[in-house]
A and B are shown apart, each in its own frame.
Chain A
Amino acid sequence: MNALGRFPETLIPLDESPLAVHGLSAGYGGKPAVMDVDMTVIPGTLMAIVGPNGAGKSTLLKAVLGLVPRLAGEVAVFGEPFARARHRVAYVPQRASVDWDFPVRVIDVALMGLHRELGLLGRIRPHHRARAEAALERTGTLELADRQIGQLSGGQQQRVFLARALAQGADLVLLDEPFAGVDAATEAAIVRVLKSLRTEGRSVVCVHHDLGTVAEYFDRVLLLNRRPIDEGPTDLVLTDRNLQATYGGRLSARHLALVR
């Protein structure tokens, strides 16, 4: 049962959910940045985590991945602890955190998605390369394959990181603000890829900040402001009352108009 007293409209067994979170609190130094989060991802859907700055959206994602200490609650990924299901999960971090002068080409970044299969001593064979190239193709960056990563625009870099997740062949893809500061072509390319993942029956959870596109891009949404406000299909959840509860006074009438 969620915050508004409504049961999730689709009841599925927990071990079939790509990601089920129950009563999760997480944060650094014992201080929770998010509290009491319940969340259930339905297979083959695109889910957005939406809320104001500082609402703990990225923290929630990182807590699921074990990058931020979990203070309470449970996380099940395909019915198992994350550590045992991590091969089925791909993560696309926020773009800022890497060294852009690093000696790595675009194709090498995509190949990182295959490192688990390659193991320590495995050689990169033609079929590995073909998979990495197919992932770049899907994001429209194949012609950049031999460039050093720092030579790309911000949007192109974001698409390459998405390609790395695609090459991994994961069933659950978690993205942290993939649309932040990218050009329109990149945004369209990313949306196209996310929708094709859904067609393949894979699931996507995406931290998102643009209320205007939530309903257009995503099937389901979790509204979050330190605590969960509501979760469910976008058209049911994005109500004036819920948005006021999430954003408080920070939400203007213009924002509300955007959602409709």
Chain B
Amino acid sequence: MMLFLEALLLQAGRNAALVSVGAALLGLSAGAAGTFMVLRKRALVADAMAHATLPGVALAFLVMVAFGGEGRSLLGLLLGAAATAALGLWAVECLTSRTRLPEDASIGAVLSVTFGAGLVLLTVIQAMSAGQQAGLEGFLLGSTAGMLQADALTVAAGGAIAGLVIWALRRPMAIVAFDEGYAATAGIDVRRTDLAGMLLVLFVTVAGLRIVGLVLIVALLIIPAVAARFWTDRAGVLLAVAAGIGGVSGWVGTALSATAPSLPAGPLVVLVAAGIFAASLLFAPGRGAVARARAARRAAPILSREESLRWIALRHADPSSPLIAQDDGRTPLSALLPVEQIAGLDRRIG
């Protein structure tokens, strides 16, 4: 517990602190980039892209070893990941636009094929008996253990850059996601805006591989946006809230992972995000489940059948009664009239 608090407050050592800051910035930009994908209803394309990073990571490792390097340069591995992720994205686009396959089928095909290829390459690398490949499995589920300072800085810089670009593009992105036809006539290049959104997601995905892992990064893109939707009806605010939720998830998740180095970081980050989602689903004002139930109860009629009939009888007996103005659907007439008059109304009802 102490260790968790220390990690949360960045007191658990310089490296752990850097990782936490990096993860927070990553979560921030993932939440923001994911917001656009969720609003555009294309969030699963990001999942295909994430899985397509695996063969890239493995190939980059092989190339770096072949050239006599150590094979563990994070930047090199991430460049490989970005290359195959871009190929995966391109494959999804081609399958959707040039064949009769619907987009979900294209996503499924690209996701499974690229992930399968990546796993094969990973097995090959393990069989090569090179001592230093152990780090590669960390890309599947994320790991903060053994992260170097330079690695953390790479992640933090990537997250910060992506966050700034998204902020600058937030208005055209919102217009495109809301009303594509209007956007096109208003001079917004829909294709380029979509492409920019995809590239940002690609960038965030690749930057997040080391911490969250490729299997779960899509959750960090989607969950903050859908959780934030419970809190606001405005796209700009949604973006900020989603970024905040992503940032907190990254921060708290990596702090948890610092206390239990045997647990992979990715699932912890995602579980924190899921916790925030659950809390939003239940307790957000207005759209949350509790608030909705309360509103429904308030709207429901609370008069008994008997009391309702008394109001109707009153309207018949005395249409000009000043009491009728007080009929709000919940005040029983018996609270406003003396017993004998109520008895008189009841006789009319029969």
Whole-angstrom CA separation of A105 from B235 in the bound complex? 9
Whole-angstrom CA separation of A65 from B188 in the bound complex? 13
Chain A residues, Cβ within 8 Å of B184: 65-67
Contact of A105 among B41, B177, B181, B233 (CB under 8 A): B233
A102 close to B181 (CB less than 8 A): no
Contact of B234 among A97, A105, A115, A121 (CB under 8 A): A105
Chain A residues, Cβ within 8 Å of B178: 98-99, 102, 104, 109, 112
**Chain A residue at minimal CB-CB distance from B181:** A93
**Tier of interface size on chain A:** 20 to 34
Chain B interface (Cβ within 8 Å of chain A)? Answer: 39, 41, 168-169, 171-172, 174-175, 177-182, 184-188, 229, 232-235, 237-238
Interface of B is mostly: helix
Chain A residues, Cβ within 8 Å of B179: 93, 97-98, 112
A103 close to B234 (CB less than 8 A): yes
Q: A103-B229, A115-B171, A120-B172 are in contact. Are A91 and B182 (CB under 8 A)?
A: yes
Within 8 A of B (CB), among A86-127: 86-87, 89, 91, 93, 97-99, 102-105, 108-109, 112, 115-116, 118, 120-121
Whole-angstrom CA separation of A127 from B288 in the bound complex? 35
Chain A residues, Cβ within 8 Å of B188: 115
Interface of A is mostly: mixed
Q: A86-B187, A104-B234 are in contact. Are A118 and B182 (CB under 8 A)?
A: no
A148 within 8 A of B: yes
**Chain A residue at minimal CB-CB distance from B236:** A108
Contact of A120 among B171, B175, B229 (CB under 8 A): B171
Within 8 A of B (CB), among A165-222: 168
Whole-angstrom CA separation of A109 from B233 in the bound complex? 12
Whole-angstrom CA separation of A67 from B186 in the bound complex? 11
A215 to chain B, nearest CB (A): 29
Chain B residues, Cβ within 8 Å of A91: 181-182, 185-186
A67 close to B181 (CB less than 8 A): yes
Chain A residues, Cβ within 8 Å of B238: 103
In addition to A66-B185, A87-B187, A99-B178, 18 A-B residue pairs with Cβ atoms within 8 Å of each other are A67-B184, A67-B185, A86-B185, A91-B182, A97-B179, A99-B41, A99-B177, A103-B229, A103-B232, A103-B235, A103-B237, A105-B233, A112-B179, A115-B171, A115-B175, A118-B171, A120-B169, A121-B168
Whole-angstrom CA separation of A178 from B185 in the bound complex? 17
Chain B residues, Cβ within 8 Å of A98: 178-179
Chain B residues, Cβ within 8 Å of A168: 186
B235 close to A102 (CB less than 8 A): yes
B177 close to A115 (CB less than 8 A): no
Whole-angstrom CA separation of A52 from B168 in the bound complex? 45
Whole-angstrom CA separation of A244 from B237 in the bound complex? 55
Sorted from nearest, which 10 A-B pairs have the closest CB atoms?
A148-B233, A91-B185, A65-B185, A98-B179, A93-B181, A102-B178, A103-B238, A103-B235, A86-B187, A120-B168
**Chain B residue at minimal CB-CB distance from A122:** B171
B41, B174, B182, B235: most-surrounded residue (chain A CB, <10 A):
B182
A104 close to B233 (CB less than 8 A): yes
**Chain B residue at minimal CB-CB distance from A93:** B181
Chain A residues, Cβ within 8 Å of B233: 103-105, 148
Whole-angstrom CA separation of A108 from B232 in the bound complex? 13
**Chain B residue at minimal CB-CB distance from A86:** B187
Chain A residues, Cβ within 8 Å of B172: 115, 120
Whole-angstrom CA separation of A37 from B163 in the bound complex? 48
A66, A97, A102, A168: most-surrounded residue (chain B CB, <10 A):
A102
A116 close to B186 (CB less than 8 A): yes
B292 to chain A, nearest CB (A): 15
